[in-house]
Amino acid sequence: MEVLRYLLRESKTGMAGLAIILAFISMALLANLIAPYDPMNAVLGDARQPPSPQHPLGTDELGRDLLSRIIYGARTTFLIAVSSTFTAFAVGTALGILSGYLRGAVDAAVNGGTQILLSLPGIVIAIIFVALWGPSLVNLIIAIAIGFIPVYIKLMRAATLQVMSMEYIQAAKMLGLSNLKIMVRHVLPNVLPVGIAQLSTDVGFAILTASGLGFLGLGLDPSIPEWGAMIGSAKNYIFVAPHIIIEVGAVIALSAIGFSLLGNALRDYIDPKRR
């Protein structure tokens, strides 16, 4: 709540980001109520129509209403983006706290793994993984998640190291609390805010990665309304029907901008220097 008050008072851009995100989420949730057409309904005679009164955003390569597909697409795309970032967040946070708390060999191993993952860019892992394992929903989520893990490990490890120097951790140790209890009860709540700011930014990045994969032809089955997959099939018609890729790309950009604005505002909020 304090965060909300901060955003309202101090950060117009953060509020704008939040508003964009909320708009997209409501759009996804209410898709069956607000979408003018069935997103799967192909009318081949109407293929690749530019925007018109019947189809405000035009139709896609199979004559399906683009607006409806974009609205429904938000569901799948957000599902992929949110699941992959939360997976990365959970794994990265666990590893980051463990390595910052335990130090020693665990730390060295985690550090080595992080370095390796950093030098093996997320997009490369994702391309290889999806290309070889097949573009299923789960595979997409895992593929995108892997690329985000090192960021969280680094962030959380640094935050943990900072928390470790606090007196209450020493006090908890003196009380004889188990390491696990200390990590969960005392370290985790203190490092979480850092991760959450990153989380917002990364949901946006995940949307970008998914659409990038779609562009490379590694999206979901093109019949499913998903923004990345839509990009993948639309790119073949870029010169014939540029409106498809322009519009879908703009929607992807807008949603990613929302997460990026909010993420940056949150980062300012938790940065003690900016307060």
Q: What is the dihedral angle through the alpha carbons of 27, 225, 127, 245, rounded to the nearest 10 degrees? A: -80
Under rule CB under 8 A, how many of the chain's residues touch another protein? 53
The C-alpha atoms of residue 128 and residue 29 are separated, in whole angstroms, by 32
* 159 touches another protein by CB under 8 A: no
- Nearer to another protein (CB atom), residue 43 or residue 161: 161
Count of CB atoms within 10 A of residue 117's CB?
Answer: 18
Q: What is the spatial distance between Cα 253 and Cα 134, in angstroms, rounded to a whole number?
A: 26
Q: Is the CB of 169 or the CB of 208 nearer to another protein? A: 208
Instruction: Examine residue 256 and tell whether it contacts another protein (CB under 8 A).
Output: yes
By CB under 8 A, which span of 29-37, 60-68, 92-100, 253-261 interacts with another protein?
A: 253-261
Neighbours of 191 (CB within 10 A): 24
| CA–CA gap between residue 167 and residue 156 (Å, rounded) | 19
Binder among 28, 118, 177, 270 for another protein (CB under 8 A) = 118
Q: Among 73, 212, 219, 225, which residue sits at the site for another protein (rule: CB under 8 A)?
A: 212
Among the residue ranges 25-33, 41-49, 72-80, 125-133, the one whose residues contact another protein (CB under 8 A): 125-133
Helices 242-270 and 227-234: crossing angle in degrees, nearest 10, is 140
Dihedral pair phi/psi, residue 123, rounded to 5°: -65, -35
Shortest Cβ 125–another protein spacing (Å): 7
Among 4, 40, 238, 240, binds another protein (CB under 8 A): 238
Q: How many residues does the chain have?
A: 275
> Which residue carries 């003018």 as its tokens?
36
Q: Does 273 bind another protein (CB under 8 A)?
A: yes
- Asked if 91 is part of the footprint of another protein (rule: CB under 8 A), the reply reads no
Nearest to 102 by CA among 115, 91, 114, 111: 111
- CA dihedral (68, 69, 73, 75) in degrees, to 10, reads 30
The piece of 47-55, 92-100, 115-123, 183-191 that touches another protein (CB under 8 A) is 115-123
Using rule CB under 8 A, residue 231 touches another protein: yes
CB atoms within 10 A of CB 57: 23
- CB-CB contact of 63 with 45 (8 Å): yes
Does the protein bind another protein through residue 190 (CB under 8 A)? no
Cβ closest to another protein, residue 17 vs residue 182: 17
> Does 92 interact with another protein (rule: CB under 8 A)?
no
d(CA 226, CA 77): 6
Q: How far is the CB of 272 from another protein (least distance, A)?
A: 12
CB of 19 to another protein, least distance (A): 14
Alpha-carbon distance of 58 to 69, in angstroms, equals 11
Q: Give the residues lining the site for another protein (CB under 8 A).
A: 10, 13, 17, 112-113, 115-116, 118-125, 127-129, 131-134, 147, 158, 201, 204-205, 208-209, 211-212, 215-217, 231, 235, 238-239, 242, 245-246, 249-250, 252-253, 256-257, 259-261, 264, 273-274
